[in-house]
Structure 1
């Protein structure tokens, strides 16, 4: 006997849990499939010194404020992992793990969700797999010329691993700045960015960024002029470790180099820097391969959406991949609102079905 759920949520990180909370409140029958063996989503894979951008109370999922971390204004990754695990238990969310979803198929009135662990059927689907599991490396990183170590943001753990080594950090976003700051006192650091590093004002954190992103989305929806959102303010949140390294003169970004050499990097003017390792903090792409059988992807690997709802498959909602699936929806503070809207839309759709 095949059991058909109202909703299957793919991904048990912050976006999946926020959606599950709202689905539970609507009384829908759902299950959350998470590829990770333990709770915590991508936070459990983060480097040791990673901090949330906002104080605990402003880094919370719907329904329950994150408890403050003793001695810390901005909670670290381990604190967030504990909170996410406790959140699952607090609301008795039906998370099944580890389940790596391989493919979703349209079976007419239902969607078939395939994995090596089994098959699930659903009347609606939420994809909340995020981006951490699909790191992006530029073509330059594929060069076989460099004889040292290549790493991506996802591979970095702690500065002691690079003590005394020559390290080039590539990337002018938050990850690049935080990892560069982490290494500044342990390694011989070269920080490289494609454009001059742009730090946000020191009083700006995740609370303000969420408000800015929301205001931009509202303006676009109403046909008003695009304010530029968070990008108009800068690229790097000056969390305390970054601020301290910057103010100490340890974060001085160099322009992007032109090529890799056997022993390091070289700029167009012939200047070189020796390196034992290059850490590519060059971002991520949406982890959406499981949706390939539905044939929904268009430009830049994205699936066109209206809010969180896929335009060509109204039973599918996408959450937590960036502003294109809800303002600040890839953040703890920002995911609650689009999760609520997605759950409500699904509830209305199922009532009509």
Structure 2
């Protein structure tokens, strides 16, 4: 008897998790990955990036992250981990396969690739993440600014900014990490809407992720989490807090406008600035689903906890706060994958029986 085929769009951590969960729930997965290998966007992240979770909390079920406890993996170590996991899974992974459109009908989904090839399946998971769609807020005067503007997704290392005046917009982990390393070579400020809040990386001798796991915070639904935690605190061993305290890095209220050569601060002061880096998050990037009417007017997927509300055999993985604090992280994506593929399998059985 033929196993139903699950088409997974995207071969990063979310796509690999979807393939594993799909196999466990009776599907034959095929992963369509646009890049040259199934490692997602990790090779494109900035050079100094390290995970905020130690290796013992960053592995997948049955496939631990190598390295000693307490080690915070580098970007390249994550790439190696995903590469190894993809091989270990042993599923059909087709690299260089960019999906440009999806059609649904007669109980199937058909993906059209950039080269015109068609790949059909009985169900689909959109797992392309959001790295390709960095969010840049609309700010007055941005068209007149003559300096450099980029999203943190395009940032690699601080050397090219040496000696410059740089503003990093954002108050989250990436903004502070990038701002701190830029401050070693450039005059750097963090532009924030609310002052940065820190959370100790280690409490009572244990990494904070031990407590998130032990106390169940990592699994709380967003509706509950929002009543407990407001915003995303920056994990810190004390380095970042000390840099702000001594003036090596400063934070200022978000500037109100760009000028032709800089920015205007809330008190009306104009300052010359060479570069502005926005660490303002990402948005889902799902243009290939537009013809399905599966997205709302802003391009966000219509879903409930990762299962489409427009197409029962369509699922999503890698969305921020999809089901929990850890939904789009290495440590949490497999839990979401299990839920999404389990729900889709149940729905599929109902449809076939009906």
Partner SS for 1:31: strand
Q: How does 1:241-256 map to 2 (within 5 A)?
A: 242=240, 245-246=243-244, 249-256=247-254
Q: Does 1:123 align with 2:128?
A: no
For the structure 1 residues 351 and 268, does the alpha-carbon distance in structure 2 shift closer, same or farther, using more than 3 Å as the test?
closer
| Structure 1 counterpart of 2:349 | 351
Cα contact 1:307–1:325 (8 A) shared by 2:
yes
Paired residue for 1:84, among 82, 85, 94?
Answer: 82
Aligned partners of 1:107 and 1:158: how far apart in 2? 47
Aligned partners of 2:197 and 2:249: how far apart in 1? 12
Partner SS for 2:271: strand
For the structure 1 residues 180 and 308, does the alpha-carbon distance in structure 2 shift closer, same or farther, using more than 3 Å as the test?
same
- Cα deviation, residue 44, structure 1: 0.9
User: What is the CA RMSD across the aligned residues, in angstroms?
Assistant: 2.5
For the structure 1 residues 167 and 15, does the alpha-carbon distance in structure 2 shift closer, same or farther, using more than 3 Å as the test?
same
For these two proteins, the number of residue pairs brought into alignment is: 343
Q: How does 1:254-333 map to 2 (within 5 A)?
A: 254-298=252-296, 300-333=298-331
Cα contact 2:4–2:26 (8 A) shared by 1:
no
Q: Which deviates more, 320-329 or 110-119?
A: 320-329
| Structure 1 counterpart of 2:104 | 106
Partner SS for 1:154: helix
Q: Which deviates more, 196-205 or 185-194?
A: 196-205
Cα contact 2:141–2:257 (8 A) shared by 1:
no
Structure 1 unmatched ranges of 5 or more: 221-225
| Structure 2 counterpart of 1:180 | 179
For the structure 1 residues 233 and 167, does the alpha-carbon distance in structure 2 shift closer, same or farther, using more than 3 Å as the test?
closer
Cα contact 1:305–1:324 (8 A) shared by 2:
no
For the structure 1 residues 268 and 323, does the alpha-carbon distance in structure 2 shift closer, same or farther, using more than 3 Å as the test?
closer
- Cα deviation, residue 192, structure 1: 0.7
Aligned partners of 2:33 and 2:210: how far apart in 1? 28
- Cα deviation, residue 320, structure 1: 0.7
Partner SS for 1:301: coil
Q: Does 1:214 align with 2:219?
A: yes
For the structure 1 residues 239 and 230, does the alpha-carbon distance in structure 2 shift closer, same or farther, using more than 3 Å as the test?
farther
Q: Which deviates more, 268-277 or 92-101?
A: 268-277
Cα contact 1:182–1:241 (8 A) shared by 2:
no
For the structure 1 residues 328 and 229, does the alpha-carbon distance in structure 2 shift closer, same or farther, using more than 3 Å as the test?
farther
- Cα deviation, residue 92, structure 1: 1.3
- Cα deviation, residue 30, structure 1: 1.5
Cα contact 1:319–1:326 (8 A) shared by 2:
no
- Cα distance per residue 1:130-188 (max 9 Å; x no partner): 11011111112872221111111111001112111111111112221111011111111
- Cα deviation, residue 248, structure 1: 5.1
- Cα distance per residue 1:60-109 (max 9 Å; x no partner): 12221110179x72101100000000001112132111111111111222
Q: How does 1:222-233 map to 2 (within 5 A)?
A: 226-228=224-226, 231-232=229-230
| Structure 1 counterpart of 2:155 | 156
Aligned partners of 1:260 and 1:16: how far apart in 2? 39
- Cα distance per residue 1:12-59 (max 9 Å; x no partner): 111111111222233421200111112321111100111111111101
- Cα deviation, residue 247, structure 1: 6.0
TM, length-normalised to structure 1: 0.89
Aligned partners of 2:161 and 2:68: how far apart in 1? 28
Cα contact 2:127–2:317 (8 A) shared by 1:
yes
Q: Does 1:166 align with 2:196?
A: no
Aligned partners of 1:310 and 1:239: how far apart in 2? 40
For the structure 1 residues 334 and 244, does the alpha-carbon distance in structure 2 shift closer, same or farther, using more than 3 Å as the test?
farther
For the structure 1 residues 248 and 267, does the alpha-carbon distance in structure 2 shift closer, same or farther, using more than 3 Å as the test?
closer
TM, length-normalised to structure 2: 0.89
For the structure 1 residues 287 and 209, does the alpha-carbon distance in structure 2 shift closer, same or farther, using more than 3 Å as the test?
farther
Aligned partners of 1:35 and 1:228: how far apart in 2? 35
- Cα deviation, residue 302, structure 1: 2.2
For the structure 1 residues 235 and 80, does the alpha-carbon distance in structure 2 shift closer, same or farther, using more than 3 Å as the test?
same
Partner SS for 2:340: helix
Structure 2 unmatched ranges of 5 or more: none
For the structure 1 residues 216 and 239, does the alpha-carbon distance in structure 2 shift closer, same or farther, using more than 3 Å as the test?
farther
| Structure 1 counterpart of 2:200 | 201
- Cα deviation, residue 201, structure 1: 3.2
